[in-house]
A and B are shown apart, each in its own frame.
Chain A
Amino acid sequence: MIETRGLTKHFKDVRAVDGIDLSVAPGELVALLGPNGAGKSTTLRMLTTLIPPTAGTARVAGFDVVRQQREVRLRIGYIGQGNGAGHSQRGRDELISQGRAYGLGVRDARNRAGTLIESLGLAEVADRRVSTLSGGQRRRLDIAMGLIHSPELLFLDEPSTGLDPQNRANLQEHILALRARHETTIVLTTHYLDEADSMAERVIVIDHGRIIADDSPARLKAEHVGDHITLGFDHETDAAAAASALAALHPERRGARLVIAAQGAPRRVPGILDDLRAAGHPAAEVEVTRPTLDDVFLKLTGRSLREGGAAQEPADNPDELVEV
Chain B
Amino acid sequence: MTTLITDSRTVFSRELRPLLRDPFTIIFSMVQPLVFLGLFAPLLPDNSLQWFVPGIIVMSCLFACSMTGSNLLFEIQTGSHERMLVTPLRRPALLIGRALKEIVPMFAQAALIVAVCVPFGFRFEFAGAVLGLLILAAFCIGLGALSYTLALASKNQEWLFWTVQQTLLFPLLLLAGVLLPIENGPGWLQALAKGNPLSYVVDAERALFNGEIFTSATLSGLIAAAAVAALGLWAGVRAMRRSD
Set of chain B residues within 8 Å of A103, measured between Cβ atoms: 1-2, 88
Interface of B is mostly: helix
Select which of B10, B74, B75, B77 is within 8 A of A101 by beta carbon. B10
Instruction: Judge if A43 is at the interface, Cβ distance under 8 Å.
Output: no
Give per-residue flags for A87-112: 1 if the beta carbon is below 8 A from chain B beta carbons, else 0.
11110011001101111000000000
Instruction: Judge if A113 is at the interface, Cβ distance under 8 Å.
Output: no
Determine whether the beta carbon of A50 is less than 8 Å from that of B2. no
- Nearest CB in chain A to that of B19: its residue: A88
A93 vs B241: C-alpha distance when bound (angstroms): 27
Determine whether the beta carbon of A86 is less than 8 Å from that of B82. no
- Nearest CB in chain A to that of B86: its residue: A78
- Nearest CB in chain A to that of B76: its residue: A82
Determine whether the beta carbon of B80 is less than 8 Å from that of A98. no
Report the contact-size class of chain A (Cβ under 8 Å from the partner): 20 to 34
- Nearest CB in chain B to that of A155: its residue: B86
Determine whether the beta carbon of B88 is less than 8 Å from that of A74. yes
If A49-B86, A50-B85, A90-B21 touch, does A11 touch B244 (CB 8 Å cutoff)? yes
If A89-B18, A90-B21 touch, does A101 touch B78 (CB 8 Å cutoff)? no
Determine whether the beta carbon of B10 is less than 8 Å from that of A97. yes
Set of chain B residues within 8 Å of A88, measured between Cβ atoms: 18
Instruction: Judge if A137 is at the interface, Cβ distance under 8 Å.
Output: no
Determine whether the beta carbon of A101 is less than 8 Å from that of B88. yes
Determine whether the beta carbon of B83 is less than 8 Å from that of A78. yes
| Shortest beta-carbon distance from B19 to chain A in Å | 9
- Nearest CB in chain A to that of B13: its residue: A97
Set of chain A residues within 8 Å of B84, measured between Cβ atoms: 101
| Shortest beta-carbon distance from B13 to chain A in Å | 7
Determine whether the beta carbon of B87 is less than 8 Å from that of A102. yes
- Nearest CB in chain B to that of A100: its residue: B10
| Shortest beta-carbon distance from A96 to chain B in Å | 9
Determine whether the beta carbon of A84 is less than 8 Å from that of B14. no
Set of chain B residues within 8 Å of A83, measured between Cβ atoms: 78-80
A90 vs B80: C-alpha distance when bound (angstroms): 13
Give per-residue flags for B66-97: 1 if the beta carbon is below 8 A from chain A beta carbons, else 0.
00000000110111101111111100000000
Instruction: Judge if B123 is at the interface, Cβ distance under 8 Å.
Output: no
| Shortest beta-carbon distance from A17 to chain B in Å | 12
Set of chain B residues within 8 Å of A98, measured between Cβ atoms: 83, 87
Give per-residue flags for A50-64: 1 if the beta carbon is below 8 A from chain B beta carbons, else 0.
111000000000000
Determine whether the beta carbon of B88 is less than 8 Å from that of A80. no
| Shortest beta-carbon distance from A147 to chain B in Å | 13
Instruction: Judge if B17 is at the interface, Cβ distance under 8 Å.
Output: yes
Set of chain A residues within 8 Å of B7, measured between Cβ atoms: 101
A90 vs B20: C-alpha distance when bound (angstroms): 12
Select which of B10, B17, B79, B88 is within 8 A of A89 by beta carbon. B17
Set of chain B residues within 8 Å of A81, measured between Cβ atoms: 79
A288 vs B84: C-alpha distance when bound (angstroms): 50
- Nearest CB in chain B to that of A51: its residue: B244
Set of chain B residues within 8 Å of A90, measured between Cβ atoms: 17-18, 21
A74 vs B85: C-alpha distance when bound (angstroms): 12
A78, A86, A94, A103 — which one has the most chain B CB atoms within 10 A of its CB?
Answer: A86
- Nearest CB in chain A to that of B14: its residue: A97
Select which of B10, B21, B82, B88 is within 8 A of A50 by beta carbon. B82
A49 vs B14: C-alpha distance when bound (angstroms): 23
Determine whether the beta carbon of B78 is less than 8 Å from that of A86. yes
Select which of A45, A73, A85 is within 8 A of B87 by beta carbon. A73
Determine whether the beta carbon of B86 is less than 8 Å from that of A93. no
- Those 4 A-B pairs whose CB atoms lie nearest each other, nearest first: A82-B79, A84-B83, A97-B14, A101-B87
B residues near A, CB below 8 A? Answer: 1-2, 6-7, 10, 13-14, 17-18, 21, 74-75, 77-80, 82-89, 241, 244
Of the A-B pairs whose beta carbons lie under 8 Å apart in the complex, a sample of 18, sorted by A's number, is A11-B244, A49-B86, A70-B88, A73-B88, A76-B86, A82-B77, A82-B79, A84-B80, A85-B83, A87-B74, A89-B14, A89-B17, A93-B14, A100-B6, A100-B13, A101-B87, A102-B88, A145-B83
A residues near B, CB below 8 A? Answer: 11, 45, 48-52, 70, 73-74, 76, 78, 80-90, 93-94, 97-98, 100-103, 142, 145
